[in-house]
A and B are shown apart, each in its own frame.
Chain A
């Protein structure tokens, strides 16, 4: 999952980005509104974390500009003032949730998680496509109630596929949403991850949860249960 983080205060942005990366997100950082808009246009962002008080282009303007260009990813605004006028203005400009500074990183992670799920139609933190159950909070996967041991990238791929369960997800989508911008985008790597996932999840091939659509990508075929 690719997160756009726009915050002008280095001391706040950098540790936040580190923590998000540690949680398995891919993070694009910007220190001002213009840079944020550039990154938002350039990359396949899944969620934006945008500070309202930004230099060069305010957070509100940035959100408006992104929405005008039909970037529909959810946006979480960070506001220092915490007054309702700012919150309402931000939400009206196109943000989806707000967080008042200072905040606990855990709170931010919970909001990010919820917004990401919500934007693709999941209301619960646990993605249940029986017999595959993925808990986004603990980043653990169970198959037929047995824990499945996945690497960080295998988890990322599965989470992305499950979040978009029932939809076709191209290899490009997966690469863009999972890798940092400076990674080598070799689609063969994705194929490798998917193959490994299939083996770990469903060694007997009794469910075949991930379907390959030739030339188009993958689809997670198990029904959403929540």
Chain B
């Protein structure tokens, strides 16, 4: 399966831009988040440190000069139960243990033994109090007797508000970053459309050339596309010129071969029909050579569809041929009617169009009795042409014969077949189809179907 990214530059650029944006905003978000968390944690540590100092400040001496703490402290959060700030002071040597009023009814378990002058921060998941940030601080207190007694002061603050704060920050941060990223993506998408617009313009102009509304790229394109469009234009000109040269070469060849053949034919005719073998052979061979030459030249000249050629209006060509056929078959006084859309176009060579129409219409004039009808319409699928007459029609047996592909013209008896074969060859070169049927006028209905976008070498229904 073809990757969708291979199919669209726009998609590729959008994907790249989205990846860059996502990476940028993701990393930005992470760094901001980390910085904020660090700052919040530092603030919390400072707060705990201050609380330790507050405890020390509040400490008083008992009768022996040992440290003791009052029931209530100045910071009200130590006094309110479940305030989230807890303290404990222990002096194990003297069996002293104090805890703040806020921890009433709970067993505190965050106290650790640390040496004097040492402090230890810890995130601690307490069973009783939930997540805490703790600070244990060791001091030495000298009593009146001059004993140095070690104490540990421990404070703990619930992490809950801290975590909530971080969550709130994150929410805000990522909402904003996401919003900005989305906005940037939209702007990027618009920018891409704007940037790629000249490519669309090229595509549209190429389509116009294909459908024959134009024969070159004429728009004013950005510098990056100029060399491409200039190359396409020169390719088109080159293709047209080459086709013309090819055609001229072929018709010159035809002309130079046909006249000597005509002389030979005349020679054979002049000898008279005396029935000698030489004369018979001469006539026969000249006629064979002629048919082979005509056939091969016509086949070679039937170029097939060229995308680079302006579509030709069909109706005027039909009218021209009809008028000339009226002249050739003047005694028939053929009544012809056209039912062709005015803007019907044939995408191909004018010679091919004239050849197909000429051969089919010549048959109609030749074999029709008094009426001929030519219809044509185009749609998105392609072109459909009908040439109908009121003659006797083609015998069923001959129909298949006529449409056999690669059937050599020199094997044909003169008649409707030759013209049909020529037309069929040309239509095939365009990847089209020629069908024979019965017309409601009574005679043959020759239908030509040429699909849009088909080209030479397409598989053929009669292949």
Q: Name A's B-contacting residues (CB within 8 A).
A: 9, 11-12, 15-16, 18-19, 53, 78, 80-85, 87-88, 91-92, 96-98, 100-106, 118, 123
A-B contact pairs, 10 of them (CB 8 A): A11-B263, A15-B270, A80-B259, A83-B301, A83-B351, A84-B321, A92-B324, A96-B330, A102-B258, A105-B266
- Let me know if A102 and B261 touch, CB within 8 A: yes
A102 near B290: Cβ-Cβ < 8 Å? yes
Q: Which residues of chain B are near A78, meaning CB under 8 Å? A: 262
> Which residues does chain B contribute within 8 Å of A118, judged by CB atoms?
330-331
B262 touches A101 (CB 8 A): yes
B357 touches A9 (CB 8 A): no
Q: Is B230 an interface residue (CB 8 A)?
A: no
Contacts A81-B258, A101-B259, A118-B331 hold; do A88 and B354 have CB atoms under 8 A apart?
Answer: yes
DSSP majority for the B interface?
helix
Interface string of B324-349 (1 = CB under 8 A from A): 10011011000000000000000000
Please give, as numbers and ranges, the residues of chain B lying within 8 Å of A102 by CB-CB distance.
258, 261-266, 286, 290
Contact check, B262 vs A84: say whether CB atoms are below 8 A apart.
no
Nearest Cβ on chain A to B273's Cβ, whole angstroms: 9
Q: How far is the CA of A85 from the CA of B357 in the complex (A)?
A: 10
Q: Give per-residue flags for B300-326: 1 if the beta carbon is below 8 A from chain A beta carbons, else 0.
A: 010000000000000000001101100
Contact of B359 among A84, A92, A103 (CB under 8 A): A84
Identify which of A12, A81, A88, A103 contacts B255 (C-beta below 8 A): A81
Q: A53-B255, A101-B259, A102-B290 are in contact. Are A12 and B355 (CB under 8 A)?
A: no
B91 interface residue (CB < 8 Å to A) = no
- Please, what's the 1-or-0 string for B257-286, where 1 marks a CB less than 8 Å from any CB in chain A? 011011111110110000000000000001
* Apart from A12-B259, A53-B255: 10 A-B pairs, beta carbons within 8 A: A12-B263, A81-B251, A81-B254, A83-B301, A88-B358, A100-B294, A101-B261, A102-B262, A104-B269, A118-B330
Interfacial chain A residues near B254, Cβ < 8 Å: 80-82
The count of residues in chain B whose C-beta lies closer than 8 Å to any C-beta of chain A is 34
B125 within 8 A of A: no
Asked whether B354 lies within 8 Å of A101 as measured between CB atoms, the reply is no
* Residue contact B265 to A104, C-beta cutoff 8 Å: yes
Q: Which residue of B lies closest to A10 (CB)?
A: B263
**Chain B residues packing against A (C-beta within 8 Å):** 251, 254-255, 258-259, 261-267, 269-270, 286, 290, 294, 298, 301, 320-321, 323-324, 327-328, 330-331, 350-351, 354-355, 357-359
Q: Known contacts A88-B358, A97-B328; is A105 also within 8 Å of B255 by CB?
A: no
Could you tell me the distance between the alpha carbons of A15 and B270 in the complex, rounded to whole angstroms? Answer: 7
State the CA gap A105–B270 with chains docked (Å). 8
B286 touches A83 (CB 8 A): no
- Looking across the interface, which residue of chain A has its beta carbon closest to that of B301? A83
Instruction: Collect the chain B residues with CB atoms within 8 Å of residue A97's CB.
Output: 327-328
Q: How far is the CA of A85 from the CA of B324 in the complex (A)?
A: 11
Chain A residue with Cβ nearest B287: A102
Knowing A12-B262, A16-B266, A81-B254, say if A88 contacts B324 (CB, 8 Å).
yes
In the assembled complex, the CB of B239 is this many whole angstroms from the nearest CB of chain A, namely 20
**Min C-beta distance of A48 to chain B, whole Å:** 15
CA distance A83 to B251 in the complex (A): 9
CB pair B357 A96 closer than 8 Å: no
Closest to B286 in A: A102
Q: Which residues of A contact B357 (CB under 8 A)?
A: 84
Chain B residue nearest in CB terms to A105:
B269
Determine how close the nearest CB of chain A comes to the CB of B260; give it in whole angstroms: 8
User: Shortest Cβ distance from A91 into chain B, in angstroms?
Assistant: 4
Name the one of B258, B321, B354 contacting A80, with C-beta atoms under 8 angstroms.
B258
C-alpha spacing A215/B205, complex, angstroms: 75
A110 to chain B, nearest CB (A): 13
B354 contacts which chain A residues (CB < 8 A)? Answer: 83-85, 88
* B321 nearest in chain A by CB position: A88
Which of A82, A102, A105, A106 has most chain B Cβ within 10 Å? A102
On chain B, the residues within 8 Å of A92 by CB distance are 320, 323-324
Q: Which residues of B contact A105 (CB under 8 A)?
A: 266, 269-270
**Shortest Cβ distance from A115 into chain B, in angstroms?**
10
Measured in the bound complex, the distance between the Cα atoms of B321 and A92 in whole Å is 9
Please tell me if the beta carbons of A87 and B255 are within 8 angstroms of each other in the complex.
Answer: no
User: Cβ of A15 and Cβ of B324 under 8 Å apart?
Assistant: no
Chain B residues with CB under 8 Å of A88's CB are 320-321, 324, 354, 358
Are A84 and B358 neighbours in the complex by a CB distance under 8 Å? yes
Report how far A176 CA is from B251 CA in the complex, Å: 39
Return chain B residues, CB-CB under 8 Å to A11: 263, 266
- Contact A15–B266 (Cβ < 8 Å): yes
**Which of the residues B266, B301, B328, B359 comes within 8 Å of A96, measured between beta carbons?**
B328
Interfacial chain A residues near B298, Cβ < 8 Å: 83
Residues in B with CB closer than 8 Å to A15 are 266-267, 269-270
CB-contact partner of B262 in A18, A19, A103, under 8 A: A103
Task: Chain A residues near B270: list those with CB within 8 A.
Answer: 15, 18-19, 105
Given known A12-B266, A102-B264, contact A83–B259 (CB-CB < 8 A): no
Give complex CA distance A103, B258 in Å: 10
**Which residue of chain B has its CB nearest to the CB of A11?**
B263
- Are B358 and A87 in touch, CB under 8 angstroms? yes
- In Å, the complex CA distance between A53 and B258 comes to 12
Which B residues lie within 8 Å of A83 (CB)?
A: 251, 298, 301, 351, 354-355, 358
The listed residue with most B CB atoms (<10 A of its CB), out of A9, A15, A80, A83, is: A83
| A205 vs B328: C-alpha distance when bound (angstroms) | 41
CA distance in complex: A101, B354 (Å): 19
Q: Which residues of A contact B264 (CB under 8 A)?
A: 102
Please tell me if the beta carbons of A9 and B320 are within 8 angstroms of each other in the complex.
no
Q: Smallest CB-CB separation from B317: which chain A residue?
A: A88
User: Whole-angstrom distance between the alpha carbons of A85 and B312 in the complex?
Assistant: 14
Considering the chains assembled together, what is the distance between the CA atoms of A87 and B357 in angstroms? Answer: 12
Known: A85-B354, A88-B354, A92-B324. A80 touches B255 (CB 8 A): yes
Please tell me if the beta carbons of B355 and A98 are within 8 angstroms of each other in the complex: no
Which of A92, A101, A103 gathers the greatest number of chain B CB atoms within 10 Å?
A101
